[in-house]
Structure 1
Amino acid sequence: MLDLRRPQVMGILNLTPDSFFAGSRVSSADDLLYRAEAMLTAGAAVLDVGGYSTRPGAPEVTEEEEKQRILPAIEALRQRFPEAFLSIDTFRASVAAEAVAAGADILNDISAGTLDADMIATAGRLNVPYVLMHMRGTPQDMAQHTDYADDLLTELVRFFRDKLVALRAAGVVDVILDPGFGFAKTSAQNHELLRRLDELRVLGLPLLAGLSRKSMVYKPLGLTPDAALTGTVAVNTIALLNGARLLRVHDVAEAMQTIQLVSNTYSIPSSP
């Protein structure tokens, strides 16, 4: 089982040609295994495999193309690293089911079941941990859905509460909450969410923070994703102090160092 009583790191493996951070794009089967080994050696507890770019305005990818990208990769990773935790980053139920059959251990769904009506029932049937993320709209139009009638954190708590009811009814036992930094949120909203992240601990579930090299990090600094590692370390530090238990990152070694130094200096809030 994945132990989140202390913070852990999820390494990102992008099998997409258009991920917002060019340095994260896997170019070949050998490159995949090389990157995976480097991440695991650096201390990653989970490898997150995705075949559909969810950057703002990303083009649509067919279901078949997504499967062609991720299924051979998961099979290769499972064979090469049998003890590793593998996560499938998808919002499609059929992709999730085939990925778990190929060896994935965790389902990471950016849509919380809103983009595929079969996803929640499928998650219950697969009986794997489920990452429940907050998003509005789709990756193509989410930037148009940043108006929140109520307080942002109140909206997120209500969203997660309602989704948890559906997940529990479907038989999903283990859930990790992802507030969805950069998904249907303005830069100001992202920073408010980071500042108030600990308020989501009221739900009693582990929190994932996916902040790595995102626009909320590099745009205020006038940089690009390639130059956003230092900023990523800074925001990950804040996330840890506010209760994050899983850091989803491109740069595993730096995230592990951040966790170690924060843990040595502060008493990180205990996991739910």
Structure 2
Amino acid sequence: MTTRAYPPPGLPDWGRCGVMGILNVTPDSFSDGGHWLDAGLAVERGLALVAEGADLVDVGGESTRPGARRVPEAEELDRVIPVIRELARQGVLVSVDTMRASVAEAAVQAGARIVNDVSGGQADPAMAKAVARTGVPFVVMHWRGQSTEMDRLTEYGDGDLVAEVLGEVERQLDAAVAAGVDPAQIIVDPGLGFAKTREHDWALLAELDAWSVLGRPLLVGPSRKRFLGELLADPATGEPRPARARDDATAASAVLAAAQGAWAVRVHEVRASADAVRVEAELRARRLAAGQLRSGRSGERG
């Protein structure tokens, strides 16, 4: 049985895989762009995610969907800081989803307790040093390039894909640590859907337990991704299932990630995934207890 991941210092131990609710304060995110662009609505949505079972809320002001172009720094700050400040004031554990060091530092000052950088510190050379100064946990995701080019960066070697992605992430970790980030702060993310084909995503999802070699908590983000839409394509037309109709498949992916030791899963709709990881945790505890009981009985017979 895969060992359960423990959180970085300063974060709660939920005793199971956590659920990170996605809050996109953007007009153009791939499945919910524009829904929560108003700060008041965004705060309401964040609180609703918590009520549905989210352990933390990831607030982002810049879309990273394939083809998305970057927004000005001032606009990103205007989108996320008021939302983070109010959610934190109301006791929500908040993560900021940003590739900019300036946004990360402002978000932490506003109450964010995690920096989730899909570039793993590569998009902004100042990011790792900024995270080191704040001392908060830092999500380092496997990343090869910006959204406008990532679909052209899907060429990997002919060998072990998982080992290749792990190797690239290890180099990202080394760079972060060299810039002053404490290894204990780091959370890793395989980057499903980022510079990956459908086959790559499935290969990574099938071997999430391999990431234990890094010795860091693992965040997995399968939510509404293309590989799920293509799997569930309309049999008559071949059209991928629409993004907002992939939440059941997302919950299935979440429980599979939890069973392989993921620290948390990142999802748009929370309730089904929150229920799923709790079922996995209960089953894991029951199996562990049954194994200990059998071991004790065996020892008594011996």
Find 2:244's aligned residue among 226, 239, 256: 226
Letter in 1 for 2:118: I
Letter in 2 for 1:156: V
The two structures have a TM-score, normalised by structure 1, of 0.92
Find 2:152's aligned residue among 144, 159, 183: 144
Shift of residue 53, structure 1, vs aligned partner: 0.3
Letter in 1 for 2:64: T
Indicate the residue corresponding to 1:65 in structure 2: 75
State the identity %: 40
Q: Does 1:120 align with 2:128?
A: yes
Indicate the residue corresponding to 1:238 in structure 2: 256
Kept after mapping to 1: 8 A contact 2:121/2:176: no
Q: Residue 193 and residue 131 in structure 1: after superposition, are their counterparts in 2 closer, same or farther (change >3 A)?
A: same
Deviation track 1:188-243 (CA, whole Å, cap 9, x = no partner) reads 00000000111111111111110111111112212101111111112112211222
Find 1:111's aligned residue among 119, 127, 142: 119
Indicate the residue corresponding to 1:179 in structure 2: 190
Runs of 4+ in 1 over 6 A off after TM superposition: none
Q: Does 1:163 align with 2:172?
A: yes
Secondary structure of 1:158's partner?
helix
Secondary structure of 1:248's partner?
strand
Q: How does 1:243-254 map to 2 (within 5 A)?
A: 243-254=261-272
Q: Residue 236 and residue 179 in structure 1: after superposition, are their counterparts in 2 closer, same or farther (change >3 A)?
A: same
Distance 1:212 1:23 in 2: 15
Q: How does 1:89-100 map to 2 (within 5 A)?
A: 89-100=97-108
Q: Does 1:43 align with 2:38?
A: no
- The answer for unaligned runs of 5 or more in structure 1 is none
Indicate the residue corresponding to 2:279 in structure 1: 261
Deviation track 1:106-143 (CA, whole Å, cap 9, x = no partner) reads 00000011111111111111110001100111111101
Give the superposed CA RMSD. 2.0
Shift of residue 65, structure 1, vs aligned partner: 1.1
Distance 1:268 1:105 in 2: 32
Q: Residue 247 and residue 226 in structure 1: after superposition, are their counterparts in 2 closer, same or farther (change >3 A)?
A: same
Indicate the residue corresponding to 1:22 in structure 2: 32
Indicate the residue corresponding to 1:188 in structure 2: 199
Kept after mapping to 2: 8 A contact 1:46/1:85: yes
Secondary structure of 1:211's partner?
coil
Distance 2:70 2:19 in 1: 28
Indicate the residue corresponding to 2:215 in structure 1: 204
Larger radius of gyration: 2
Kept after mapping to 2: 8 A contact 1:5/1:245: no
Deviation track 1:70-113 (CA, whole Å, cap 9, x = no partner) reads 1121122222x1x3211110011111111111111100000011
Secondary structure of 1:56's partner?
coil
Distance 2:283 2:85 in 1: 40
- The answer for unaligned runs of 5 or more in structure 2 is 1-10, 234-240, 289-302
The two structures have a TM-score, normalised by structure 2, of 0.84
Indicate the residue corresponding to 1:214 in structure 2: 225
